[in-house]
Amino acid sequence: MITFKKAGNLLDEKTDALVNTVNCLGVMGKGIALQFKQAFPENYSQYKSACDKKEVKIGKMFVVHSNNLFQPQYIINFPTKINWIHPSKIEYIETGLDDLIRVIEKNKIKSITIPPLGCGNGGLNWNEVKELMLEKLSLLNDKIEILIYEPSHSPNAKDIPISTKKPDLTPIKTALIYLIKIYKDPGYGLTKLEIQKLMYFLQETGEYLKLQYKKGNFGPYANNLNHLLESMEGHYLTGFGDRTESTNISILEINIPNILSLIQMNPKIYHNTLKVKSLIEGYETPYGLELLSTVHWLYAHENIHEINKIKTAISQWSTRKKILFNERHITKAFNTLKNNQFI
């Protein structure tokens, strides 16, 4: 029996098997795959190892026995992409469904929950995928319960289960938490984009954070900062979620009641966080931080030191920035960076 569900949390379903959509490169960085990575770390470990050995392929399910006393008993990793960067193809879903049917029958699975295969980050048309899933899965015995999730918003970050090991509170994590606290204390909201800018400026003070910043649509952006935030989700922070939506990130205060005492144990990094605090005062908005970091990037990383040339470079960065930032604000940001000795 096939039923469809429009909303809810797939990971909460009590079925024999849960299907996770994956690529063939070992990356679970966003969407439902990231939710699975956080909820079932052992599944990710086995999947990543198999990808490293080139064993995860389109049209072939990678099955992990969960060893749970309760459901799910199986995590079925369904490759919908070769590379996480590129979109899915309908033929990947077709050949995959054939193998999924084989896995269901081989393991005598009586109930299974399946996400909208190849949709969302995969880019496929749901109506086309839905028709194909109905065509293929209707071949199974009617006694098998098949629950298919239709495309919808991601569950709230606080509702995504986290089973990963709590990481040590390293100096960089402590600094990140302290900067979030500084930013949010006046009552401002904060998303991943603002955290990107806070950590960018901390690295620019001379802290060796190993963050690989590049020129992005909204200013400097380091993809590897997401890995740090992901590891802290559910332990020290909440709100990172599965990266599909922009949500407010908060500190789990109960787990880190003495953040000021902790960061003061490292005088150098504490001093540098205070430099960032002084810099961003009055700029605690998405607009303000993007403006500051954009001007700084052009000065420090593109060697554009004259204010008029910086204004021209901003207008050439993107049409959005050209419209968004006026010359008076650019000049003010330039002077703020200079007065705080960031340029």
- Which residues have a catalytic role annotated? 81
What tokens were used for 234?
């559910």
What tokens were used for 156?
């709230």
What tokens were used for 179?
């900067």
Q: Can you give the three-state secondary structure of the chain, one letter per residue? A: CEEEECCCCHHHCCCCEEEEEECCCCCCCCHHHHHHHHHCHHHHHHHHHHHHCCCCCCCCCEEEECCCCCCCCEEEEEECCCCCCCCCCHHHHHHHHHHHHHHHHHCCCCEEEECCCCCHHHCCCHHHHHHHHHHHHCCCCCCCEEEEECCCCCCCHHHCCCCCCCCCCCHHHHHHHHHHHHHHCCCCCCCHHHHHHHHHHHHHCCCCCCCCEEEECCEEEECHHHHHHHHHECCCEECCCCCCCCCCCEECHHHCCCHHHHHHCCHHHHHHHHHHHHHHCCCCCHHHHHHHHHHHHHHHHCCCCCHHHHHHHHHHHCHHHHHHCCHHHHHHHHHHHHHCCCC
Side by side, the strands of the sheet bearing 111-114 are 2-5, 145-149, 111-114, 17-22, 74-79, 62-65
Are the beta carbons of 101 and 139 closer than 8 angstroms?
yes
* Nearest partner of 99 among 125, 120, 86, 80, judged by Cα: 80
| Residue tagged 């504490």 (tokens) | 270
